[in-house]
Each structure stands twice: as C-alpha cells, then as structure tokens.
Amino acid sequence: MRLDIVTPERQLFSAEVTSVRLPGMEGDMTVMENHAATVTTLRPGIVTVVGGDSAGEFVVTGGFAEISTDGASILAERAMPRADANADILQGVLAEAKAAVEIAESGEASAAARMRVNDVTELMKLVG
Amino acid sequence: MPSLKDLKIRIESVKSTRKITKAMQMVAAAKLRRAEENAQAARPYADRMNAVLSNLAKGAKDSPSAPKLLTGTGQEKTYLLIVATAERGLCGGFNSSIVKLARTEANKLQSEGKTVKIITVGKKGREQLRRDKADLLVGHVDLSEVKQVGYDNAHGIAMDVLSRFAAEEFDVCKIYFNTFKSVISQIPTAVQLIPATFDTVEGGDDKGTLYDYEPEEEAILADLLPRSIATQIFTALLENAASEQGARMSAMDNATRNAGEMIDKLTIQYNRSRQAAITSELIEIISGAEAL
C-alpha cells in the first residue's frame, strides 16, 4: 500500500510499504492494505514503517492520519526520521504542552493537555 | 546647460544605480525559485487537510454542538483582518495592493456599522495602515528576523488569533495576502479563516468515502480546525513570500531598464555638448585667422 508522510513544509516520505504502525489517539494501530477507511488523530509518538527498502521509524509530534483502502497518509505538524530526533528538539514541544495544561479551562481540555505532556515525555525517553 | 564634468558624474552615478538594481533583480530571482519550491512543497499538506476537513465539516455543520470555529459565533459584528505584507520595500506595488484591498474592505465594513480590528504581519503594511487606520491596529507580527517563513511562524500567528477568538474579541477573521500567479502578476486575495470555509474538492471525493473516525467526529474536528487555520496562514505567508520576490524581480527589472535608457540619453547629451564645445573652439580659431 501507499504511505505518505507530509508535514506543512514538505513531503517527508512517500513509498510502497507492507504495513505501518501509528500512534493513534486511542491507542496504537497497525494499518495494512485494505484497511477500513479511517481518520484518526495522532498523539506524539513513533510511526513504524514495515516492508521493502523503505522500512524505518519516524517521530511525529501529533497530527492526524487519513487511511483509505489503498493507502494511508500521515499529516504531522512536525515529523522527522527517528535518527534525526533527539530530546532537545522535543523540549520545545514539551514546553508548549506544559503551557497548554496551565491555560486549559475545562476539565476535559486539561486532561487532554496532561495526556499530551505524558506522551511527549514518553517519547523523549524513547528517542533518548 | 550642465557642464561636461557634471554630465560625466551623472552618468557614472546612474551606472552604479543600474548595477545595484541589476544585482537586486538577480537576488530576487534566486530567492523566488526557493520561495516557489517551498510553496509547492507545502501544497500536499494543505490539500489533504482541506479534503479531510471539508468532508468532516459537511456532516458537522448542522449539529448544534459543532465547534464555533466552524459555525461562527452567531453574529457578524466584529471583524479581525490579518494583513500580511512584506518586511521590505522596493518591490513595486506588492505591499500597496494588499493594503489597498484591505483598506477598501475595512472602509466598507465600517460603513456597514461593523467593528474592524487589524493585525498586521510585516512592517510595510503597518506603516501604510498607520496613516489612516491607526486606531484599528490591535497587533503586529514582526518577521524581519525571519529569513524564510516556517510553519512555526504561522503557528504563532494562529495561536494569537485563536486566543483572541476564545476571548470573544471578534466574530469573523479574514487574511489578506498576494497570491502568486507569475512574476508579473500577483493577485491580492482575501481568505476567510473564521468561521472556517472550505474549497469544495473537485471530482474524486464526490463518491464520499465513508470514514470511521477515531475519536468521534466532533473531537477530531475540534482538534483539526485550529491546525487548519495555522495551515491556511502558512499557505498565505508562503504565497506572499513568492509574490514578494516576483514583484521585486519585475520592479528591479524595470528599474534596470530605465537606468539603461537614462544612461543612453545622458551619453548623447554628453557627446553633443562635447562636439558643440569643439565646434565653437574651431570657429573661434578660424575667425581669428580670417581677421588677420
């Protein structure tokens, strides 16, 4: 199936792959060919691409994925190959997430913001 | 009648002006290519975002709990205009054309009794609007330190706009910028950001693929709408960047050509007065010799 990873600034990745694992907002999910059409938001985490020469891992800081039967596209605000990611880059994202917790008004928003802080912290541990 | 020496100095100075405008034109041409590439690279993201959102919005528009970013506040009293211009001049009518469009609309809205607030992006627009709309300016975004607009710049502007919206400072938000058509043509454009509007996707999606949404549609919509505003602002800034370089390129091309024409004219004048001086000197000698 076709997988595209695009950021606002450029197209980061586009190739035929066997499957891809996404950090969905409601849990990780693996997408293969003929997956039901789905739109899901992503939490900060790692996208794992399996299959062919294009296998690899990407770090995303949130965004969403559009999955159709013949492919998937990941629209991430910030995405990079895992090798390029480090804790310093994510520090800014973490600070932003923490600020969001401060200003969150409703209980729902603050829970979502706190979850984001958790996700980013986890991700920072993963990329080291 | 200027002396020969004066003319020579004029010619030299116009020649160095021509060198400068020529250099600026070439710099603009190089920057234009980069700016165009950036705008091109950003298109897939914006297109997908638009496609997914318009799909989502179609279903949610009538729901009473749809986000305000989509449906509006229910009134249209206060308008926030984001006027995006360049940080630098010497680019023909680039800045003026955006300001003119924004000013016309601001006047129209005011005559209809609406309140208008303006945020300027880029120094030049601010300078022009300060003359007659100083009391409407509520904010300014300085991009003079930014060599190349990135998503972060747009994100910052979007956050500012969204927090103002959350504070109920305005009902409708529009952004003004120049769409890049070609080097000689940039089109002043207005796009409404809030309440969100979507270009109808042409062809393809008409079959209306039924998507599963995770989490449910409204949560996604609430998550995506702010992002989409940042994306639209980003697109506007990129179009603007390309337009600015294009406008500067053609303005500098004209300036270079004008300088060339001026040099030609001055050179002719220089040669004429040189020949006139020689002729009159000869006449003096000849008439002197005849008198003997």
- Asked if the C-beta of B231 comes within 8 angstroms of chain A's C-beta atoms, the answer is yes
Residues A106 and A67 in one domain: no
Among A31-35, B17-21, B280-284, the range scoring the smallest mean pLDDT is A31-35
ipTM of the complex: 0.85
Closest residue to A37, CB basis, from B45, B209, B215: B209
Min distance A126 CA to chain B CA atoms (Å)? 24
- Asked if the C-beta of B154 comes within 8 angstroms of chain A's C-beta atoms, the answer is yes
Residues B197 and B277 in one domain: no
Residues B214 and B279 in one domain: no
Residues A104 and A53 in one domain: no
Interface test with A, best of B37, B45, B168 (most A CBs within 10 A): B45
Closest residue to B41, CB basis, from A4, A10, A40: A10
Whole-number Cα distances in Å, A15 to A43, A47, B85, B138: 23, 14, 38, 46
Query: DSSP per residue over chain B, as a string?
Result: ---HHHHHHHHHHHHHHHHHHHHHHHHHHHHHHHHHHHHHHHHHHHHHHHHHHHHHHHHHTT-TT--HHHH--S---EEEEEEE--S---STTHHHHHHHHHHHHHHHHHHTT-EEEEEEESHHHHHHHHHHHGGGEEEEE--TT-SS--HHHHHHHHHHHHHHHHTT--SEEEEEEEEEEETTEEEEEEEEEETT--PPPPSSGGG----EEES-HHHHHHHHHHHHHHHHHHHHHHHHHHHHHHHHHHHHHHHHHHHHHHHHHHHHHHHHHHHHHHHHHHHHHHHHHHH-
CATH number at residue B157: 3.40.1380.10
> Does pLDDT of B267 surpass 90?
yes
**pLDDT of B220:** 85
As a whole number, mean pLDDT of residues B92-101 equals 93
Q: Do B41 and A25 touch (CB under 8 A)?
A: no
- Asked if the C-beta of B150 comes within 8 angstroms of chain A's C-beta atoms, the answer is yes
Model pLDDT for residues B132-150, shown as the tens digit of each residue: 888 999 999 988 888 888 8
> Does pLDDT of B207 surpass 90?
no
The dihedral built from the CA positions of residue A60, A64, A66 and A67, taken in this order, carries a sign that is positive
Q: Which of B7, B39, B69, B91 is catalytic?
A: B91
CB-CB contact of A3 with A17 (8 Å)? yes
Residues A64 and A25 in one domain: yes
* Residues in chain A closer than 8 A to B231 (CB atoms): 8
State residue B61 phi and psi, 5-degree precision.
Answer: -55, -40
Residues A13 and A76 in one domain: yes
Catalytic annotation on B173? no
Min distance B103 CA to chain A CA atoms (Å)? 30
Q: Please tell me the total count of domains within chain B.
A: 2
pLDDT band at B84 (very low <50, low <70, confident <90, very high): very high
Interface test with B, best of A3, A5, A9, A43 (most B CBs within 10 A): A9
Residues B163 and B34 in one domain: yes
CB-CB contact of B195 with B143 (8 Å)? no
Q: Do A39 and B154 touch (CB under 8 A)?
A: no
Closest by CA position to B173, among listed B87, B237, B109, B104: B109
- Asked if the C-beta of A96 comes within 8 angstroms of chain B's C-beta atoms, the answer is no
Residues B205 and B171 in one domain: yes
Closest residue to B223, CB basis, from A36, A37, A41: A41
The answer to whether residue B292 is domain-embedded is no
Q: Do B220 and A75 touch (CB under 8 A)?
A: no
Residues A68 and A25 in one domain: yes
Q: Do B219 and A41 touch (CB under 8 A)?
A: yes
> Does pLDDT of B114 surpass 80?
yes
Q: Please tell me the total count of domains within chain A.
A: 2
Interface test with B, best of A26, A29, A41 (most B CBs within 10 A): A41
Among A81-85, B85-89, B244-248, the range scoring the smallest mean pLDDT is A81-85
* Residues in chain A closer than 8 A to B201 (CB atoms): none
Model pLDDT for residues B216-232, shown as the tens digit of each residue: 888 888 888 888 999 99
> Can you tell me whether residue A1 is helix, strand or coil?
coil
Among B12-16, B71-75, B99-103, the range scoring the smallest mean pLDDT is B71-75
Residues A71 and A104 in one domain: no
Residues B53 and B76 in one domain: yes
Min distance A74 CA to chain B CA atoms (Å)? 9
Q: Which structural domain, as residue segments, surrounds residue B179?
A: 26-248
Model pLDDT for residues A84-127, shown as the tens digit of each residue: 888 888 888 888 888 888 877 777 778 888 888 888 888 888 88
pLDDT band at B206 (very low <50, low <70, confident <90, very high): very low
Residues B282 and B144 in one domain: no
Q: How far apart are CA B96 and CA B263, in angstroms?
A: 29
CATH number at residue A52: 2.60.15.10
Q: Do B214 and A68 touch (CB under 8 A)?
A: no
**pLDDT of B203:** 46
Residues B238 and B257 in one domain: no
User: Which residues pair with residue A2 across a beta bridge?
Assistant: A16, A71
Q: Which residue has the higher pLDDT, B74 or B97?
A: B97
Closest residue to B41, CB basis, from A9, A24, A39: A9
What proportion of chain B, given as a percentage, has pLDDT over 70? 95
Q: Which residue has the higher pLDDT, B205 or B196?
A: B196
Q: Sheet harboring B137-141: ordered strands across?
A: B137-141, B115-121, B78-84, B172-182, B185-194
Q: What share of chain A is helix, strand, coil (3-state, %, to 5)?
A: 35, 40, 25
Q: Which structural domain, as residue segments, surrounds residue A13?
A: 2-82
As a whole number, mean pLDDT of residues B186-194 equals 92
Q: Two tokens at B82?
A: 């984001």
Q: Do B214 and A24 touch (CB under 8 A)?
A: yes
The alpha carbon of residue B62 and the mean position of all alpha carbons in its chain are separated, in whole angstroms, by: 36
CB-CB contact of A72 with A50 (8 Å)? no
- Asked if the C-beta of B227 comes within 8 angstroms of chain A's C-beta atoms, the answer is yes
Q: Do B150 and A9 touch (CB under 8 A)?
A: yes
**pLDDT of B204:** 45
Min distance A45 CA to chain B CA atoms (Å)? 17
**pLDDT of B200:** 61
